[in-house]
Structure formats: structure tokens, C-alpha cells
A and B are shown apart, each in its own frame.
Chain A
Amino acid sequence: MKIDFEKIFLVVLFSLLLWAGYANLSGQMLAHDFPVGYLAADAVQDWGWAENIKDSGNYAYFPEYASAGFSKVIAWYAPVLMHGSVLMSYASGLEVYDMLIFLVYFFAALSALAMYFLIKRLDRNTAILSAPLMLFIFFRTFYYAFLLGQWAYVSGALFLVASFWAISRLELDKSYILLAIFIMGNIFTHPSELVFIILMTGIYILINLISKNFKLKELKSAIIAFAISAALSSYFFLVLKLSAAGEFSGVGGALINFKPIEPHYGYPPVYINEFGLVLIPIAAGLLLSFLYIRKKNSAALAAGLLMLAVGFFNYLGGSIGDRAFQNRFFWPVYFSVFFGLAVYLGLKLVIKEWKITYSVAVSVMLMIAFMFIFYTKVENASLVDSQHWQAYKWIEKNTPKESEILFLYGDPYSQTSNLWFTKRLSKLIDYQDYAETAANGTIKRYYTARHVSGYLFYRKGLFSSGNYVEEKGLSYFKNETDICDFDYYVFDKLTAQQPGLVQYNLAVRDNMIKNGMEEAFSNQLVSVVKNKNRGVNCIG
């Protein structure tokens, strides 16, 4: 029996990516008692929106508890990821929070395999030798895309790579179906990358024209694909126009304005030197790519060059440059073709009769070496712990849906979306005001507090929308708040960061209980207090 080393290799690559990513982070478990691997507010937001699909049955609106109490706030964020995780939750019986994060890592591993098949169009040995670089998505700063909740971006990258693959396959009969579906996948997940699909299509056709491989049929297929995807996405484009387009209209609204963009999305910027010495073969492959770009089926090289340029679009400024830093997170996948090409051509200089098995062996050795040198295991980490989760779920299951909650000081609430876990309209005490009052040794009835909400666009008509944030003003969301005007209060009892504030928490809680409230839930970390006379003086 002939052993197919390539297939075994792909299984190893896929397994290694899942192991380095989600298996370790999740503590080698698929089902958890509380969300594991959620390390940023962005990730919790994604959970809130996906969970609401399960609760409401569709993705028309964001939940009121995540919208400062406003109803019918337009939902627009990454429907494919959200619906995918809800469907997985129903099918598997696991929680949405487990399936959401699992899918993100599954998508990343799938992106690597899709890139492999794109590179394979150029050369099979190059594809196999490209794989080790793909592991970098879980190394160094690249890994922050996952850890800091850039999950829609990661999911969008899958469809971007698949779109590149489909562009490289435009010669297929009815190839427009494939390209149209991948373009739509991108639009419905992270639409900002649509620009790069358009650019890639143009570059691919231009290269074919220069190298005299151009076929009118392929151009027609590409045009049909964009037309189909535009038609079938038209409703969602309207949703975006009424919502996200207002939020992300770009810097100054211009596509390019030549004012370099500074990193500003709340994650550490990726720089090209993150590759360390591995940058040498990448650079060599980059230079070699100019020799091979005119070769037939060189779409992987064109994609690598495009995404290199995209990573530096920050110097162009405007809305096209605004996402440059984000796209660098997937450089390991996009640049893998350069790495593979350099290693393959380098090895072929030494061994003329190169075989696939050699490529597999070298690639596996490089993967092991990279894991030893660059990989730092992130294990079983989360913003949420079992005690807080118990409190959140107690509130969700034991309080009326219209209850309003006030969160006093707690270490986890600096990642503010944590408040959504209760599925109740909540406000968070302003830590600065709280700390100043605590320092005075007084307890008062009015503190600054704020709603934790996402985007607040709502429909005014078929083609018009309003934005509650603009209309109400920021003071609506963060203001002097009567702390006696809530139904429940969440007090943290332990802290790793602010012992003084937690002591103050307990003093406020005791005072409230002395004035007629009662503790409704308690565990080692959290105390939930019920207000039996909402609006009545509770401080004494």
C-alpha cells in the first residue's frame, strides 16, 4: 500500500494548529462550566450578540441589556460567525460561549489549509514547506488577534484566503458561484477586507494579461461573482449602511488621505520583526517571488505581495489605512508562500532530485523547531471565573427580566462587557468617583455610573437611521446615578488589585442591608443584594 504523506502532513498541520491554539487555551476541553479563553471585552461582546440570537431566534437586533435599554438597535456584526456558533450550539448541545471561541480557532486552522491549497497551485513542495510559518499565528504578537477578541477579523481572514483561492480557480466552469459565496462570507463576517478581494482580482487579471494567460471567460466569471454577491448581500449592505458605515466611515471619511494611522484599536501593533530570524527566508522568498509571479497559477505569490502592501497601508491613511495593523495578524498565513518558496529553492540547490517526502520531513522538523523556539502556551485563561459566573447565572435565572443591576467595584468589570453575562440592564459604578468617595470615608446616594453598551443605531425609515449615542449625548450613558434606584447590586468581596475598594464595597453593602435590603445570593467572591424598595433612600 502506498502511503500518502501529503494527506498525513495536512492532518498533522491541522491538529498542531488546533493544539497550539484552542486545545491548550481551553484546558483540553470542549465543554466548560463558564466561558474559558475570553480575555477581552470584544470577545464577550461577540458572545452577547451570538447568545441573543439563540434567545430571540434571529439577528435583527442587539439585546436591550447590551444597548443601554434601547430596543430595536440594529444588529450588524459578523452574522456568519454569530449564526455559525449558535447552530453549532444547537447541534452539539454545548453552550454558545464554547462553540463561538472553538469556531474561531477552527476557522484559523481551516485558513491555513485553504492557503495550503492556494500555494499548491504554484507548487506542491512549496506548499508543504510553507506550513511551518503558518504556526506563527499563535506566536508572539500575532496571537493577540485571538486572545484580545479580534474574532470577526480572524473569521473574515478565512473567507479572504478562500476568495484568493477562488480567484486562482476562475478557469473552472461556473467558478463565479465559488467566488460569490466566499465574497459574501467575507461581507457577512468582516466586510472591510472586501477591498482586498477586489484588489486581488484586479492584480490577478493584470498578471495574466502581462504573462499572456488572460482569458476573457475568467474576467466575466469574476464580474458575475461580484454581481451575484452584491445582489445577495444588498439587504445586509443596507444594514451596514444604516449602522456600521456610520461607525467605521474611516478617518475623515476619505479612502486615502496620506496621514499615517497610529495603532488605535486596543491591541498591540504587529511589526514585521516579530518573525525574528525567520524574516530572512521570508525576505528571500519575497525577492524570488518577483521571478515567479508571471508563472501560471502564481496567485499565492500575488496574495502574499498584496497582503504585505496592505499591512503598510497605514501610511496611506484614510479608511483604507485604518485596518492595516489588523491585517498584519495574519501575515504568517499570507507570507507562508515566501517562506516555503525560499526554503524549497534553497534545498533544491543542494539536492537536485527533491521528493515530496523530503518536503514533508523538513516541514515537520521546522514546525517542531518553531514550536520549541517561539511558542508560549496560554492555558486555561479567562476573564471569567466559576464564582462570578455562578453569580451572573443566578441573576439571569432568579431575577425578573426587567430588573436593573448596579455593579459596584470588581476586578473583572474593567472589561466592561462582562456585565452582559447577567442578561439584565446594568450600570457600572465609575471607579474614580467611587475611589474618591471611599477615600473620604463617606457613603453617598449619588455616584457616577454608566451603561455598558455596544453600537446604538436604530431604523428611522427604510433607508434612514438614527444613533442613540449622538442623539442622547454621552451624559445619558454616564451620569450621576441614584444608587437606590436599582433592583439588584453586585458587590465583589475579594480583589487582587484594589483591596481598599473592596473593603468599601462591603461597607456600602452593609449599609444598604442595614437600611432594608437583603442579600439574595452569596459565594466566596460575589454578593448580590436585592432592593425591596426601589427608589427609596437606601443609605440612611
Chain B
Amino acid sequence: MDNELALKLRKELTYLGIILIGGIIIFQLLFFRENVITTARTVLSLYWLFILPGFAVMYYWHDKLDFLERLVIGSVLGIAVMGIASYYIGLAGLHVKYHLVLPLITIGISAFFVLEKKNSHENSEAR
């Protein structure tokens, strides 16, 4: 990974962290009768299941779309990917309770394609 991509990723991971904490605070204000643990668990679940995998997939277009657009559209994308994958994997026989690992797989595959894109871009430039 070159410095530029690593720096951008680090910066955006910091943003994601800030948004996570901000999200928990906003949710706690909206659902002020709820205890903080439940609120935090709900926001973390949204993050893990939909927002992070969607954001990871959208990273392929990090040079074309700004952070916030990738975050929002990526969240919609994460919902679709997780829902459809869980549906098919469930039908294939793996109980839905084990599907919480799906985001990790999605993030891994996305990282592979982002690096692949970067490498092919560097190779074409070298030529």
C-alpha cells in the first residue's frame, strides 16, 4: 500500500471512529429513555453489519466519490449485500446465527479488490 492510500485510509478510519462515537451520542439523545449500553450495542451492530462492509466495498471508488457519499451509499449497499448473502447462505444450510462473520469476509474481499486496482493502476503507469 502506498503512502497516499494509507494516509487517506487512516484519516477516513479516524472519521469513521468519530462518526461512531457521534452516532452513539445522537442515538442516546434521540432514545434518551434507553440505557447507554443498549444504545451503543445497536449503533455498533449497524456499524458492523451494514456501514463498515458497505464502506469497504465503496472504497473501490474512493478517488471518485467523497467520504460522506461513500458512507451513505455504502450503508445502503451494505444492507443489500448482507441481506442477500445471509439469505443464500442460510438456504445453503448455515444457521443465520453464524452470519455475523459475513461483514469480515466482505471487508476482506473489498480490500483485495482495492489493492488489485491500485496495483494494476501502478503497473499501467510503469509501462
Contact = CB atoms under 8 A, between A and B. Distances in A.
Nearest to A174: B60
A185 B80 contact: yes
A80 B79 contact: yes
Contacts of B83: 79-81, 83-84, 185, 188-189
Nearest to A88: B45
Interface residues of A, number: 60
Interface in B72-95: 72-73, 75-77, 79-84, 86-88, 90-91, 93-95
Chain A facing B: main interface SS: helix
B64 interface: yes
B90 A57 contact: yes
B113 to A, nearest CB: 9
Given A11-B26, A174-B60, A79 B87 contact: yes
A123 B90 CA distance: 43
A232 B39 CA distance: 35
A523 interface: no
A57 B42 contact: no
Contact of A91 (B48, B57, B94): B48
A79 B84 contact: yes
A182 B78 CA distance: 10
A87 B86 contact: yes
Nearest to B67: A7
Interface string A82-95: 01101110111110
Interface string A144-182: 000000000000001100100100010011100110011
B96 A158 contact: no
Interface in B1-48: 22, 26-27, 29-34, 38-39, 41-42, 44-46, 48
B73 A235 contact: no
B36 to A, nearest CB: 11
B56 interface: no
A211 to B, nearest CB: 22
Interface string A293-320: 0000000000000000000000000000
A520 interface: no
Contacts of A185: 76-77, 79-80, 83-84
Contact of B64 (A27, A90, A172): A172
Given A162-B73, A188-B84, A94 B42 contact: yes
B72 to A, nearest CB: 5
Nearest to A112: B72
A93 B41 CA distance: 8
Interface in A174-204: 174, 177-178, 181-182, 184-185, 188-189
B76 A159 contact: yes
A91 B38 CA distance: 11
6 contacts: A83-B82, A93-B38, A94-B38, A110-B72, A184-B84, A185-B83
Interface of A: 7, 10-11, 15, 18-19, 23, 26-31, 53-54, 57-60, 79-81, 83-84, 86-88, 90-94, 102, 106-107, 110, 113-114, 116-117, 120, 158-159, 162, 165, 169, 172-174, 177-178, 181-182, 184-185, 188-189, 232, 235-236
Given A18-B30, A90-B97, A117-B69, 14 more contacts: A11-B26, A15-B30, A30-B39, A54-B97, A60-B90, A79-B87, A84-B82, A87-B99, A88-B42, A90-B100, A91-B44, A116-B72, A165-B73, A185-B80
